[in-house]
Amino acid sequence: MSAHIEPQVYDLASFCKAYSISRSFAYLEIKAGRLKSFKAGRKTLISREAAEAWRRELEEPRVNSPGASPETAHEQPA
C-alpha cells in the first residue's frame, strides 16, 4: 500500500494539470505577479504554498463583482 505524497513544488506542467489551467494562463499570472514562481536552471517551479495562496486569492470576492458584499469585498487602493 503506497501513501499519496503531496508535492512540495510543482513544475509548470504539473501545476497547470493540478489547477486545470493552461500554460499560457499560468505565465500570465506569473507575469502579473499574482502567482509566485522561481527557476531551477531552465525549469519554472511553483511552491505548494505559492499555489495555494494564488488559489485563495482567486476565491476572494472582488469589488463590483456579482455577489460581492461590501462587508467582504476588499477596497481598491487610492
Helices (H) and strands (E) in the chain, counts: 3, 3
Report how far residue 21's alpha carbon sits from residue 44's, in angstroms, rounded to the nearest whole number: 16
Instruction: Return the domain boundaries, the chain.
Output: 9-58
Cα-Cα-Cα-Cα dihedral sign, residues 59, 64, 65, 71? positive
Report how far residue 31's alpha carbon sits from residue 60's, in angstroms, rounded to the nearest whole number: 20
Q: Which residues contact 68 (CB under 8 A, 6 or more apart)?
A: 61, 62
Tens digits of pLDDT across the chain (78 residues): 678 887 799 999 999 999 999 999 999 999 999 999 999 999 999 999 999 999 999 998 877 656 555 554 455 554
